[in-house]
Amino acid sequence: MAVAAGVKTYRAPGRVNLIGEHTDYNDGFVLPCALSLETRVATRPTRKKELRIHSAEMGAEVAWPLEDVAGLKPQGNWTDYCIGVAKELLTLGYDIQPAKLDVHSTVPSGSGLSSSAALEVSTALALVNGRKIDKVELAKLCQRAERNFVGMPCGIMDQYVSVFGARHAAICIDCRTTTHEVVPLPDGVEIIAVNSMVKHDLGKSEYPLRVAQCKEALSHFPGKKALRDVTLGDLERTAAKIPEVPLARARHVVLEDFRVRQFLEAAVAKDLGTMGRLFVESHRSLRDDYQVSCEELDFLVDTALKQPGVYGARMTGGGFGGCTVNLIAAGSVPAFETAIRDAYKAKYAKEPTFYDCKPSAGAGPCRASASRSK
């Protein structure tokens, strides 16, 4: 396909989080990897002084006069991620140039594989369009777009790994310092995400509530900046003073940060047994202390753990639906998928979708930009 004159295309990957769930907005540690599933945004200049965005997946095209972008309000749909990014770029001093953006994504929406961050980062790169921007600032401005405009009080993990993802490796992110360590994964193991094909609306209200509950727990530790600074000993000494629910939330975060460091050590040591055990411990904590799992996710995890060659399984992402992530011996994947598909269809009359999570590179320009004129 011929490349249209003046068209440049930028890509940003989704992610699967291996371990470290709901720790990023507590200044903690996370260990995700970027995926080959990605969002691509092709940008072409236009004569009209407008920003026009087309999405094939959404079947929609929307346009705004450039002079109106700074004052736009959230619409409660997918365009908010794009406009939020544009507004943050304006705040940083980047002008928004007249452009038509064509969005195409293979990251499934609502799956817990971070379709929103992939859209934010690819849109930001398309709007910057070759101008200089620091990579950490790119991740931070996309996070601000989701927090300030979309209204989701997310941490930095999704945007950061979309920018800094590494081929053949996960990255361990320190969410306070916004630095990371590349973590090669052992040979002979596959990372398979299983999409439950459900997303309960409860997640929209429960995510901000979890953020608030963590802040309530933190208020019982004067001098601590975030739950990341609270030790298990601190928690045990103060437990009697903290209401039951905030205490449970804090217990998950404190122990999950510890599990991330243990997982990092196990990955370096190629200790798949320990890596799998930590997966299971993380899921139980998310189910019982953080209460962000759901029946379908629990069923997928419990069923996975009965299959030959499965080292570990857990929910991944914000919760209340979306995906599980599974560590599986390479030769066991076909039988695993058959068993999970059959059991899930028999239980819920839904067919799950499977994703082979190959750790991939972070965001950037595409070398070859093919685009149809619209």
Number of domains into which the chain is organized: 2
Q: How many CA atoms lie within 13 A of 346 on its CB side?
A: 9
What pLDDT is recorded for position 143?
97
Collect all residues with Cβ–Cβ distance below 8 Å to 38 and sequence separation of at least 6: 11, 12, 13, 14, 105, 106, 107, 118, 122, 360
Give the Cα separation of 209 and 249 in Å (integer).
11
Active-site annotation, residues: 158
- Cα 352 to the chain's mean position, in Å? 19
Q: What is the pLDDT of residue 311?
A: 98
β-strands 99-105, 50-55 pairing: parallel
Residues in the chain: 374
Same domain, 62 and 160: yes
Burial (0-12, 13-18, 19+ Cβ within 10 Å), 334 = exposed
Q: Are residues 156 and 226 in the same domain?
A: no
pLDDT at 202: 65
Pair (29, 99) in one structural domain:
yes
The residue out of 183, 211, 238 marking a domain boundary is 183
Identify the CA nearest to 194 among candidates 13, 14, 21, 356. 356
Q: How far apart are CA 326 and CA 193, in angstroms?
A: 6
Establish if 370 belongs to a structural domain.
Answer: no
- Helix or strand or coil: residue 271? coil
Of the three residues 152, 183, 214, the one that is the final residue of a domain is: 183
Q: What pLDDT score does 193 carry?
A: 97
pLDDT value of position 5: 54
Instruction: Give residue 370's pLDDT.
Output: 41
Same domain, 283 and 143: no
Domain contains 363: no
* Residue from 357, 277, 349 nearest 111 by CA: 357
Residue 296: which CATH number? Answer: 3.30.70.890
> Is residue 62 within a helix (H) or strand (E), and if so which, with residue range?
strand 60-65
Token couple for 339 = 């068993």
- Give the sheet arrangement for strand 310-316, strand by strand: 310-316, 321-329, 189-199, 353-356
pLDDT for the residue 112: 83
pLDDT of residue 102: 97
pLDDT at position 174: 98
Which residue, 61, 54, 82, is CA-closest to 149? 82
Residues 343 and 224 in one domain: yes
- Please check whether residue 3 lies inside any domain of the structure: no
Query: Do 169 and 269 share a structural domain?
Result: no
- Determine which helix (DSSP H) or strand (DSSP E) holds 8, and give its type and residue range: strand 8-19
For residue 327, the surrounding DSSP H or E stretch is strand 321-329
Cα torsion at 35, 39, 42, 48 (round to 10°)? -150
Clarify whether residues 179 and 262 are in a common domain.
no
- Using H for helix, E for strand and C for coil, what is the string for 148-203? HHHCCCCCCHHHHHHHHCECCEEEEEECCCCEEEEEECCCCEEEEEEEEEEECCHH
Please, what's the b/e burial string for 144-161 (b: 16 or more CB within 10 A of its CB; e: otherwise)? Answer: bbbbbbbebebbbbbbbb
Residue 217 lies in a domain: yes
Residue 369 lies in a domain: no
Same domain flag for 108 and 192: no
The answer on 169 and 233 residing in a single domain is no
Whether 117 and 13 have beta carbons less than 8 Å apart is answered as no
From CA 295, how far away is CA 348, in angstroms rounded?
Answer: 10
In terms of domains, do 66 and 105 share one? Answer: yes
Which residue, of 163, 183, 203, is where some domain finishes?
183
171 in the same domain as 254: no
In a domain, 365, yes or no: no
Which amino acid appears at position 40 of this protein? R
What CATH number is given to the structural domain containing 32? 3.30.230.10
Residues 67 and 178 in one domain: yes
DSSP tag of 287? H
Range of the domain at 258: 186-356
pLDDT tens string, the chain, 374 residues long: the values are 233 558 999 999 999 999 999 999 999 999 999 999 999 999 999 999 999 999 988 889 999 999 999 999 999 999 999 999 999 999 999 999 999 999 999 998 878 899 999 999 999 999 999 999 999 999 999 999 999 999 999 999 999 999 999 999 999 999 999 999 999 999 999 999 999 999 877 667 899 999 999 999 999 999 999 999 999 999 999 999 999 999 999 999 999 999 999 999 999 999 999 999 999 999 999 999 999 999 999 999 999 999 999 999 999 999 999 999 999 999 999 999 999 999 999 999 999 999 999 999 999 999 864 443 33
Within a domain: residue 215? Answer: yes
In a domain, 327, yes or no: yes
Strands 8-19 and 29-45: antiparallel
Q: Which pLDDT belongs to residue 320? A: 93
Give the relative orientation of helices 135-144 and 79-91 as an angle to the nearest 10 degrees.
Answer: 120
